Amino acid sequence: MNRIAIGPGGQFSLGGENFVVDMSRKKDRRPSTSEAFTIVKNEAYLRFYELLASTFSPRAILELGIFQGGSYVLLDKLFNPRRMSAVEISPGPVASLLRYVAGMEDRFVHFSTSQSDRKTLEQIVRDELADELDLVVDDASHTYEQTKASFEVLFPLLRPGGIYVIEDWSWAHHPAYQSADAPFAKRYALSNLLFEQIMLMGSTSLIAEIRVWKFLYLIRKAEAAFAGFGVGQNDENGSIFDQILSRGREWSLI
């Protein structure tokens, strides 16, 4: 039975909080209010997280990309983790979200913070999540460079068996993004990162599985690395992707 019952106008309630699904253009979306949080996830996304929460119980969650805070509250209510934090590049704090976390233990949000800020991400995992990171949800920039930078920092810090979700990976293959003046026209496709992660899975014992949907994909970290394979640690001078084996052939981004 579905825990989320979506009513007229995209409204639903969960864990005592109200939500409104708003998939309109960003500039036209309603702000979150004291009455209801705005969430930019259609039913397919909501059912994905609902199903995941029925089989997976993370100790700590890190969300990349907050917008109006609806997804933060949704993840908190669905998974009920011990600790949770999130970062958002936009400078303006969301008042309703700040009210939600106020006075709550082990719930944190960071505005004016890039998803590729290595120092801040490492500090969040260490100090706010007590090195118990089990679930990362990346719904931030959707750009290849920044999404990859986050993965390079966070995947090595993810606990064995942990899950890393990247949303909206297929935008570059949508008809609306094919013209020269389309959004992100000069950006590399985010799907490049998925291809690289598949190669990383084949080259090492770091990734147990990658499951792909049209709108997002899930990476599950292996419980343990096999002898002879890298363990996935990297720092500012190296990358987890340096372990990809490609027979000496060059990989070209699209």
Q: Could you tell me the end-to-end alpha-carbon distance of the chain, in angstroms, rounded to an integer?
A: 42
pTM: 0.95
Kind of pairing between the strands at 60-64 and 83-87: parallel
| Residue 233, pLDDT score | 59
* Residues 4/46, Cβ–Cβ less than 8 Å: yes
* Residues 139/167, Cβ–Cβ less than 8 Å: yes
Q: Which CATH architecture has domain 41-243?
A: 3-Layer(aba) Sandwich (3.40)
Pairwise CA distance, residues 73 & 225, whole Å:
34
pLDDT > 50? residue 60? yes
Coil, strand, or helix at residue 183? coil
| Residue 103, pLDDT score | 85
Beta strand extents in 144-206 (DSSP E only): 163-167
Q: Which residue is listed with tokens 């997002």? A: 216
* Residues 122/146, Cβ–Cβ less than 8 Å: no
Local confidence band at 2 (pLDDT 50, 70, 90 cut-offs): confident
- If one counts every other C-beta atom within 10 angstroms of the C-beta of residue 208, the result is 15
* Residues 159/130, Cβ–Cβ less than 8 Å: no
User: What's the mean per-residue pLDDT of the chain?
Assistant: 95
DSSP assignment, residue 133?
E
144: closest CA among 175, 115, 181, 119? 115
Greatest Cα pair distance in the chain = 57
Domain boundaries, given as residue ranges, for the chain:
41-243
Tokens of 118: 């290595």
* Per-residue pLDDT tens over the stretch 156-196: 999 999 999 999 999 999 999 999 999 999 999 999 999 99
